[in-house]
Structure 1
Amino acid sequence: MDGSQSTDITSNPSLAPMSSIRAIAAGLSLIAVARSMSAVAGSSEFPGLCLGGTGDSRTGSPPRLLRLADVPGYEPHRVNDMLLLSPAGAQSLCGSGTEAAEDGSQHVVFFPGDIQNFQQEMSLQPEGAQWQCWSLERVALILGHRFPGRHIWVVRASRMYLHKFSCYHNFVESNLFGAPEHSPDYGALRHLRALLSHGMERAGLLAPATTFPPPGFSLALVAFSKGCVVLNQIVYELAGARVDPELAPFLGSVTDMYWLDGGHPGGSETWVTDRRALKELTASGVALHAHVTPYEVRDPMRAWVGREHRRFVRTLEELGAHLANTLHFEDEPASIDNHFRVIKEF
């Protein structure tokens, strides 16, 4: 929910004092709008999970959730908490046989937006308690329903300012509120590769010292709202990654990238518009998916978001990219409710 009226509801916050004050004031408006969320969010009780049929359709067994704390990245100071949803009956990649490789080789990584945190932590915060339907655990289950049979990884933002503003500074240079400063060599891809390698080892999906990625490994990247800054940073790193002997195989395993209603508190670069970067993205052959709602792309107070989105789409289409672009809830009023609902509807 990373727009100018949600946790990213900051119209253009920066580290300047006045902008910071406006950003904090805007963030506090979560209290006012959270009640309207309850109609869409459903029960705040965890067993409800806001989603029916989350079990494995083949076995009827429930999926397995595993929380991994302080998973190391490629540098000692870059660590992230992760949540892993494994499909029922999934086998270890370090097992033997074709069936094991097929069962455990498909993975999805999700980068959440502002306010989204682990269920327990959200329940302790006045604002977060009212948005628990979109906790990391519940979103993992939603994604498990969307991508049946795959391992779902949810990467928690490494810092949450005021318990609201997610900051992915392990993936991209960011200010206090999580607004990014993109560069071609920050190391987002290298960090993601290390997180998955170490996370899979901890979860018993990969034998220690095994070459990563293992044979048959495939990866879809999904980001919502503020989390889209990670996908954008990856786009800027593609040129270097394609000629890096360590990163090129990992990059080759990425099959799909999903942008879900991207937004952040900066005044620009909500969507990648650099033609050279988008040319590299097209050349990667990755299937691209952009899902937006009027909340982000039709907000007159942040008109640049819509302009950048249109330019992103137009440039990729001109370059011949494999792009699917969808505007959800087009005939409904722009709302935070629908902003979050895109996670279920994409």
Structure 2
Amino acid sequence: MSRIRVVAAGVSPMVAARTMSAAAGSSEGPGSAAGGTGPGSPSRMVKLAGVPGSEPHKVNDMLLLRPARPGAPLRTPEGTRDTEQHVVFFPGDIQNFMEEMVLHAEGIQWQNWSFERVALILGHHFPRHHVWVVRAARMYLHKFSSYCNFVESNLFGAPEHSADYGAVRHLRALLTNGLERAGLKSAASVFPPPGFSLVLVGFSKGCVVLNQIVHELERAQADPELAPFLSCVTDFYWLDGGHPGGSGTWVTEQHVLEVLAASRIALHAHVTPYEVRDPMRSWVGHEHRRFVQILKELGAPLSNTLHFEDEPASIDNHFRVIVEF
């Protein structure tokens, strides 16, 4: 979110009940877990605190939700084992671990969109995937997320994109170390393993990470260490991107989008009137239209969806796009 409004969260009763039931009994200390699939089964939800990234001072807390799949691992139609499928989600402002959100007045109002509950929602979207939620390195005033480990950002999280900041390298290191910490790979094993696939999802402020990765694509694809990792990315999902800067909410540079289109990564843009029809931030809608126009002209595999088109713009629907995409 580019700004926070103090209103009640509008979560559908069905989604709230389902996620609250699934999250019941969770404990969120380092390495703790919740939601096992039965007696003696591994826990599904694990919090990983201080996962190191590309440099010693760059660490991020992460939440992992393992897929709910009792019995033998399934295989996709392409033959890829589901244990090798992963989704990484970058949240927006005010979203946090539940234990943090309930400590602050604004956080309590939005607790239906905590990391734990969003992970469960994404688990319904991607039932065969491991779901990773990455916490921003800084949260100013407990609500303004700054993804400064991925992109140069000010205190409020407004980004300064460049071609060489290192978001791709940091994400690769986070996943390598996160998988090891969660017991999903050994320290000596090759990463990424054969059949590994990755879906990247950004919501609101979290879309700045996707945008930075797009800016880095050309150089990263030429890097012998990063290229195999990038080749595993199958999809980008932008969910109602927004940040407090005065421009750059969507990528509009022609050459950068040419590189993205040529990658043949499946691209998905899901927006609501809250972001793209705000008269006080008209550049967001203009940039979104330009992003879509250029990529379509380039023949990129892009889907673009405007949700809640006939409803008034609201922060409730802004969050609900996480359910509806």
**Alignment partner of 2:100 out of 103, 107, 121:** 121
Contact kept? 1:69, 1:80, Cα under 8 Å: yes
Describe the shift of the 1:92–1:212 C-alpha distance in structure 2 as closer, same or farther (beyond 3 A): farther
Residue 344 in structure 1 maps to residue 318 in structure 2: no
Contact kept? 1:44, 1:130, Cα under 8 Å: no
* Counterpart for residue 295 of structure 2: 316
Matched residue type, 2:170: H
Quote the Cα distance in structure 1 between the aligned partners of 2:151 and 2:213: 9
Contact kept? 2:270, 2:304, Cα under 8 Å: yes
Q: TM-score, normalised by structure 1?
A: 0.83
Q: CA deviation at 1:209?
A: 1.9
Matched residue type, 1:227: G
Deviates more, 1:165-174 or 1:203-212: 203-212
* Counterpart for residue 27 of structure 2: none
**Alignment partner of 2:21 out of 43, 47, 50:** 47
Q: CA deviation at 1:45?
A: 9.1
Describe the shift of the 1:79–1:186 C-alpha distance in structure 2 as closer, same or farther (beyond 3 A): same
Residue 181 in structure 1 maps to residue 181 in structure 2: no
3-state SS of the aligned residue for 2:10? helix
Contact kept? 2:63, 2:134, Cα under 8 Å: yes
* Counterpart for residue 51 of structure 2: 71
Relative to its length, the structure with more helix (as a share) is: 1
Instruction: Show the 5 A alignment for 1:3-152.
Output: 8-9=2-3, 27=4, 30-31=5-6, 33=7, 35=8, 37=10, 42=16, 46-47=20-21, 64-89=44-69, 102-152=81-131
* Counterpart for residue 201 of structure 2: 222
Quote the Cα distance in structure 2 between the aligned partners of 1:45 and 1:248: 37
| 1:233-287, Cα deviation, whole Å (9 max, x unpaired) | 0000001011100000000000000000000000000000001110110111100
Q: TM-score, normalised by structure 2?
A: 0.89
Q: CA deviation at 1:88?
A: 2.9
Contact kept? 1:72, 1:79, Cα under 8 Å: yes
3-state SS of the aligned residue for 1:37? coil
Q: CA deviation at 1:43?
A: 6.5
* Counterpart for residue 246 of structure 2: 267
3-state SS of the aligned residue for 1:81? strand
**Alignment partner of 2:270 out of 283, 291, 312:** 291
Contact kept? 2:9, 2:110, Cα under 8 Å: no
Q: CA deviation at 1:103?
A: 3.0
Describe the shift of the 1:45–1:145 C-alpha distance in structure 2 as closer, same or farther (beyond 3 A): closer
Quote the Cα distance in structure 1 between the aligned partners of 2:291 and 2:80: 36
Q: CA deviation at 1:37?
A: 3.4
* Counterpart for residue 172 of structure 1: 151
Deviates more, 1:297-306 or 1:202-211: 202-211
Q: CA deviation at 1:210?
A: 1.3
Contact kept? 2:101, 2:108, Cα under 8 Å: yes
Contact kept? 2:36, 2:44, Cα under 8 Å: no
Describe the shift of the 1:251–1:133 C-alpha distance in structure 2 as closer, same or farther (beyond 3 A): same
Quote the Cα distance in structure 1 between the aligned partners of 2:292 and 2:11: 33
Highest RCO, 1 vs 2 (Cα 8 Å, sep ≥ 6): 1
Quote the Cα distance in structure 2 between the aligned partners of 1:92 and 1:222: 28
Quote the Cα distance in structure 2 between the aligned partners of 1:141 and 1:249: 29
3-state SS of the aligned residue for 1:133? helix
Quote the Cα distance in structure 2 between the aligned partners of 1:289 and 1:63: 31
Matched residue type, 2:10: M
* Counterpart for residue 12 of structure 1: none
Matched residue type, 1:327: L
3-state SS of the aligned residue for 1:82? strand
* Counterpart for residue 22 of structure 1: none
* RMSD of Structure 2 on Structure 1 (CA): 2.5
| 1:275-303, Cα deviation, whole Å (9 max, x unpaired) | 11101101111000000000000000000
| 1:11-57, Cα deviation, whole Å (9 max, x unpaired) | xxxxxxxxxxxxxxxx4xx33x2x2536778469943769xxxx999
* Counterpart for residue 32 of structure 2: none
Contact kept? 1:90, 1:104, Cα under 8 Å: no
Identity %, equivalent residues: 69
Residue 162 in structure 1 maps to residue 162 in structure 2: no
Unaligned runs of 5+ in 1: 3-7, 10-26, 94-99
